[in-house]
C-alpha cells in the first residue's frame, strides 16, 4: 500500500515537474463526474476560454490550472482541495459550484493562505459573518437572483404566488430571497426531495391552488423534469412560470426545448446581452464548444478575466497578498455583465434583468432580455460582514 501511495505521488510529480518556472497556480475544483458533472465542465469551459484569449497567462505570468473533481461530495472536495494546496501549492482556488463543498473547503484553504475567487457558489455564510479578506465571489450571492424576481413581481402587482424548491439549504435560501422583496400572498411554499424525478403531485396541487404565478428554483435535471411536466400539464399558459436564471439557462434549456418558451427568468447575464464583451464571449464560446454559454460559463469567463485584471494591475505579483487583495477589491475589467464591482463583503454589486424564454433565429430556446429589474443590487448579508483589515 505504501508502494501504491508512493507511486501515485511519483506520477503526479512527473506531471508537474515539466512546468516552467514561476507560473500562477490556480486550483479549479468542481463537480466533473456524476449527474452534476455538466456544471463543472460548463464552468471550466468558460474559464479556459478566457485564459486562451489571454494567451494562457494571468497578470502576464504563465498559468497552471490544477483540476480537481469533488464528485459533489464535501469530503471528496476537501481531499482534492488539500492536495491542491499542499502538494500543488495553488495560490488561488476557484470553480466550486456546490455550497456544501465550498463550506467544507473554504476554511482550510483560507487558513493555508490561499485566495478563493468563486466563479459560482456564493453561500450566505461567507457574504455575512464569515466574510474573509481572501474570499471573493465573482459570481453572485445565492439569494440575489430570487430577490430580483421577488422585486419584479412585487412591482408588477402580482397578487398570489406559489413557490417550489428542493428541500436543501440553497432551495430555502432562494425562496427566502424571493420573499424578502415579494410581499403579496403566498398560497403555497413547497419543498421537494432533492433529486426528485416526478412532479405530477406538486403540479396537481398548483393547479388546485390556482395562483397568479409560480416561482420555482430547480437546478439541473430537476428543473428539466419540472418544466417539461408543468408544460405537459397545460399550466404554462394560465399560470406563468418564473424562476432564477439557474432554472432556465443553457445547461437545461436544450433538454427542455419548447416547453420552456414563455417562462420568465431573472438574470445578471443572458446570452442575448447587448454589450461588446458579452457578444464577443458568446460568439467565441459557440465557435469553440458548439453550444450557447450559460450564465455559469459567463461567470467563470468573467472570473478568469477579473483575476487577470487584478493581477496585471500589480504587475503579476500576487504573492504580495495585501496588494493582491487590494487589487481584487478595486478591480476594473470589461465584464460581460456590463457593470461589475465588489461590495465591502467581496460579493458583487450588479444589475438584474427580467428575461423571457424565446426561440432564437435557429429555433433554439434562449433568454431574451425584457427589462432591467434593479440597478446596483446588493446582497442582504453585507451588513453582517465585519471585514478584517
Partner 1 sequence: MAEPATNLSRLRDVVPTLLILAALAATPMVALAIGDPFIVKVATRVVIFAIAAVALNFVVGYGGLVSLCHAGFFGIGGYVVGILAWHDFNAEPLWFMSGTSDLAISLPAAILLSAMIATIVGAISLRTSGPYFLMITLAFNQMFYYGAIALQKYGGDDGLQIMSTITLGPLDVSNRYRFFYLALAVLALTLLLVGRFVDSRFGMVLRASSKNETRVIAVGVDPWLYRLAAFVVSAVLTAVAGALLAAGQQFISPVDMGWDRSGDLVVMAVLGGVGVVWGPAIGAAAFVVLELVLSSWTTHWQFVFGLLIVLIVVSLRGGLADLAQTLFARRSGEAKHG
Partner 2 sequence: MTLSLITEQLLNGVQLGVMLFLMSAGLTLVFGIMNFINLTHGSLYMIGAFAGAATQAATGSFLLAMLVAPLVAAAAGLALETTLLRRFYGRDHLDQVLVTFGSILALNEATRMIFGLTPLRMNLPPALSGHVDIAGIPYPTFRLAILITGLIVAGLLYLVIMRTRIGMWVRAGASNRPIASAMGVNVPLVFAALFGAGAALAGLAGVMAGPILSVQVGMGEPILILALVVTVIGGVGSIRGALVAALLVGVVDTLGRVLLTPALGSMAIFVMMAAILAFRPKGLFPAHG
Instruction: Give the one entry of partner 2, partner 1, none that residue 208 binds, where binding means its C-beta sits below a cut-off of 5 to 8 angstroms depending on kind.
Output: partner 2
Decide if residue 322 touches partner 1 (CB under 8 A): no
Cβ distance to partner 2 smaller for residue 171 or 244: 171
Q: Residues 181, 271, 342, 374: is their CA dihedral positive or negative?
A: negative
Q: Which residues bind partner 2 (CB under 8 A)?
A: 33-35, 37-38, 41-42, 167, 191-193, 195-198, 200-202, 204-205, 207-208, 220-221, 224-225, 228-229, 232-234, 251-252, 254-258, 291
Cell numbers placing 222: 430537476
Decide if residue 195 touches partner 1 (CB under 8 A): no
* Distance of closest approach, residue 201 Cβ to partner 1, in angstroms: 18
CB 336 within 8 A of CB 298: yes
Q: How far apart are CA 109 and CA 207, in angstroms?
A: 47
Q: Which of 59, 68, 211, 240 binds partner 1 (CB under 8 A)?
A: 68
Candidate segments 48-56, 100-108, 149-157, 211-219, binder of partner 1 by CB under 8 A: 100-108
Cβ distance to partner 2 smaller for residue 194 or 333: 194
Give the 3-state DSSP-derived string for 348-375, with helices as H, strands as E and coil as C. Answer: EEEEEEEEEEEECCCCCEEEEEEEEEEE
CB 204 within 8 A of CB 178: no
Residues in the chain: 389
In terms of Cβ atoms closer than 10 Å to its own Cβ (0-12, 13-18, 19+), residue 183 is: exposed
* Distance of closest approach, residue 164 Cβ to partner 2, in angstroms: 11
Residues 349-378 that bind partner 1 (CB under 8 A): none
Decide if residue 229 touches partner 1 (CB under 8 A): no
* Distance of closest approach, residue 38 Cβ to partner 2, in angstroms: 4
* Distance of closest approach, residue 105 Cβ to partner 1, in angstroms: 9
Instruction: Give the one entry of partner 2, partner 1, none that residue 251 binds, where binding means its C-beta sits below a cut-off of 5 to 8 angstroms depending on kind.
Output: partner 2
CB 46 within 8 A of CB 301: yes
Q: How many CB atoms lie within 10 A of CB 242?
A: 24
Cβ distance to partner 1 smaller for residue 47 or 353: 47
Q: How far apart are CA 191 and CA 167, in angstroms?
A: 5
* String marking each residue 28-47 x if it binds partner 1 according to CB under 8 A: ----xx---x---x------
Alpha-helical (H) ranges within the chain are: 2-17, 37-53, 74-86, 99-111, 124-127, 144-156, 169-181, 200-209, 220-232, 253-256, 276-289, 295-313, 321-329
Cell numbers placing 30: 468542481
* String marking each residue 121-160 x if it binds partner 1 according to CB under 8 A: --x-------------------------------------
Q: Which of 172, 246, 164 is nearest to 205 (CA)?
A: 164
CB 212 within 8 A of CB 239: yes
Instruction: Give the one entry of partner 2, partner 1, none that residue 202 binds, where binding means its C-beta sits below a cut-off of 5 to 8 angstroms depending on kind.
Output: partner 2
* Distance of closest approach, residue 314 Cβ to partner 2, in angstroms: 36
Residues in contact with partner 1 by CB under 8 A are 1-2, 4-6, 8-9, 11-12, 32-33, 37, 41, 67-69, 72-76, 78-80, 82-83, 86-87, 99-100, 103-104, 107-108, 123, 167-169, 194
Amino acid at each position: 500500500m505504501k508502494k501504491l501511495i508512493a507511486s501515485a505521488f511519483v506520477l503526479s510529480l512527473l506531471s508537474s515537474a515539466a512546468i516552467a518556472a514561476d507560473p500562477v497556480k490556480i486550483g479549479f475544483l468542481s463537480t466533473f463526474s456524476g449527474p452534476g458533472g455538466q456544471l463543472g465542465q460548463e464552468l471550466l469551459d468558460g474559464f479556459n476560454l478566457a485564459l486562451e484569449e489571454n494567451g494562457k497567462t494571468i497578470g502576464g505570468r504563465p498559468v497552471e490550472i490544477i483540476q480537481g473533481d469533488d464528485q459533489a461530495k464535501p469530503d471528496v472536495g476537501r481531499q482534492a482541495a488539500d492536495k491542491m494546496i499542499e502538494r500543488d501549492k495553488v495560490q488561488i482556488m476557484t470553480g466550486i459550484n456546490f455550497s456544501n463543498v465550498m463550506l467544507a473547503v473554504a476554511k482550510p484553504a483560507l487558513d493555508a493562505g490561499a485566495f478563493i475567487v468563486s466563479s459560482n457558489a456564493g453561500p450566505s455564510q461567507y457574504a455575512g459573518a464569515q466574510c474573509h479578506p481572501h474570499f471573493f465571489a465573482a459570481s453572485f450571492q445565492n439569494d440575489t437572483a430570487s430577490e430580483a424576481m421577488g422585486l419584479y413581481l412585487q412591482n408588477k402587482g402580482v397578487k398570489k404566488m406559489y413557490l417550489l424548491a428542493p428541500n436543501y439549504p440553497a432551495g430555502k435560501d432562494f425562496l427566502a430571497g424571493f420573499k424578502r422583496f415579494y410581499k403579496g400572498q403566498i398560497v403555497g411554499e413547497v419543498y421537494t426531495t432533492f433529486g426528485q424525478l416526478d412532479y405530477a403531485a406538486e403540479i396537481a396541487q398548483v393547479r388546485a391552488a390556482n395562483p397568479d404565478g409560480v416561482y420555482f428554483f430547480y437546478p439541473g435535471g430537476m428543473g428539466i423534469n419540472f418544466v417539461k411536466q408543468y408544460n405537459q400539464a397545460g399550466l404554462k399558459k394560465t399560470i406563468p412560470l418564473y424562476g432564477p436564471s439557474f432554472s432556465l439557462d443553457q445547461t437545461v434549456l436544450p433538454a427542455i426545448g419548447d416547453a420552456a418558451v414563455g417562462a420568465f427568468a431573472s438574470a445578471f447575464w443572458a446570452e442575448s446581452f447587448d454589450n461588446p464583451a458579452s457578444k464577443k464571449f458568446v460568439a467565441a464560446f459557440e465557435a469553440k464548444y458548439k453550444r450557447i454559454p450559460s450564465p455559469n460559463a459567463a461567470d467563470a469567463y468573467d472570473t478568469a478575466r477579473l483575476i487577470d485584471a487584478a493581477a496585471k494591475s500589480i504587475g503579476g505579483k500576487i504573492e504580495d497578498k495585501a496588494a493582491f487583495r487590494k487589487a481584487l477589491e478595486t478591480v476594473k475589467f470589461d465584464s460581460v455583465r456590463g457593470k461589475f464591482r465588489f461590495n465591502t463583503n467581496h460579493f458583487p454589486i450588479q444589475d438584474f434583468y427580467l428575461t423571457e424564454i424565446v426561440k432564437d433565429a435557429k429555433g433554439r430556446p434562449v433568454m431574451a432580455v425584457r427589462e432591467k429589474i434593479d440597478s446596483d443590487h446588493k446582497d442582504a448579508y453585507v451588513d453582517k460582514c465585519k471585514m478584517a483589515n
